Amino acid sequence: MQRLILLLSVLVSFNFARAAVWTEVNEWSPTWEDRFSEWVENNWQVDFFARKRLPNGQSNPYYGLRTDCADTVYSMRLIFAYENKLPFVIQDPTASGRTISNKMARWDRQNEQARIKNFLVYIYNMTSTKSLPNDTYPIAISRNTVRAGSLILTTAVNHHSWTIKEMLPIGVPHLVYNSTIGATSSATLQERQSWPNPEWVFEGDQTPAGNAGFRYWKPAQYIGQPAWKVPGYSEEQYKVPLKRWVKYSQGRLALRRETDEQLMARLMKVTCQGVQGRVSAVNDGLNALRSTKKCMKYADYDTYSTPSRDQRIFDDYVTLRKTYRDLVLANNAAELSLDMRVRLNKIFPFIEETMASETRKMAATGVDGTSVCTTEYLSGQYIDLAEFKRRLFAGLISNNPMDEAQYRWGQLRGPSQRARSCQSWDVWVPNLKQD
């Protein structure tokens, strides 16, 4: 009888291990959290899902997965847990008191690679930025806490998130993220080395209840419990006025100061990345528009419109302009090279005036030797940061996916006839009263 019980126990254990997505052999600890942070810094690249082969020549088991912003965040934690046989536990967004973990038995007849891919897709379908507050908690602003592997979340108003790949020595985050994905979206992620606009991050609620700001992963034993019970919980970031939030955070996180030239080059690069990233997003929308003669329903409109993307690009321009203006007013930007000033003056030709005044006076400009970020936005058509800025600030750039290409890129002022005949949601316009 004892031998039969032992045999049944072995069989049950075998079936359970076989049924799990993976069987954990390690437990999370401060050492494993350090290894997670190191792994993110070294491995979390924009081509993580787009490269067919890994650096060691093996095929990439995650190739072709397409993620939105929350999917990207969850992938970072889940994949590390899988590769190191650690537990992965999150709160089930559909049922109070239940969790989702690597012990799920839905794919027990599949091989390991198929199980992990199907588990990832399942997590993508189950989670969103709405579920991230259940699985993370707000942290203090220090290099011990805000580090590779943590994340930034907005309030529900803007439903966006970023993973932190690295905290740079200058106290600025290197963010890897993605946005809403369409039918033809690439598997390549996006990145930026800059702060998101805190006014946008905390829009509507700069309190712990808004769930925005820096966050880190809850230990499994705290899933389902209030965030304030998690060791390391902090409300520091909610006590800093938004006008000072970036300066305060960067001051707390910086190991050294960047030069004015490095600062402006970094901010121009970030703005350029936003404009260039918009090309594929708009093309996804144009492809969807060509596929039907009907009006888009809300779900498709939300997928292919670009109000949040355009707002973030606008915020990057505003940050670039304000930073340059401050340098000009402080010492006539004396520490900037002549070449840098010439390029900036093309983008901001009336830097000492208000944004509204500059927008009224700024004339159309073409690509030339002083251009920054020359980008092919339509086949055979190029634009630089200066001309895109002129169109964006003038309200010519359309985020409406029912508009054709010339309206999406501000060659014509919209809305187009087709867009006027269809319902629109969340139409974005620039706010020039931020001087």
Q: What are 294's two structure tokens?
A: 């009907």
Instruction: Return d(Cα 377, Cα 343) in angstroms, integer.
Output: 20
Residue 56 DSSP symbol: T
> What is the predicted pLDDT for the residue at 95?
86
Query: How do residues 137-153 score in pLDDT, each as one tens digit?
Result: 999 999 999 999 999 99
Q: What's the average model confidence in pLDDT over 15-24?
A: 72
Residue 381's SS3 state is strand
| Residue (of 165, 148, 83, 157) closest to 120 by Cα position | 83
Query: How do residues 323-352 score in pLDDT, each as one tens digit?
Result: 999 999 999 999 999 999 999 999 999 999
- Other C-beta atoms closer than 10 Å to the C-beta of 355 total 21
> What is the predicted pLDDT for the residue at 6?
41
Residue 376 has pLDDT above 80, yes or no: yes
Query: How do residues 100-140 score in pLDDT, each as one tens digit?
Result: 999 998 888 889 899 999 999 999 999 999 999 999 999 99
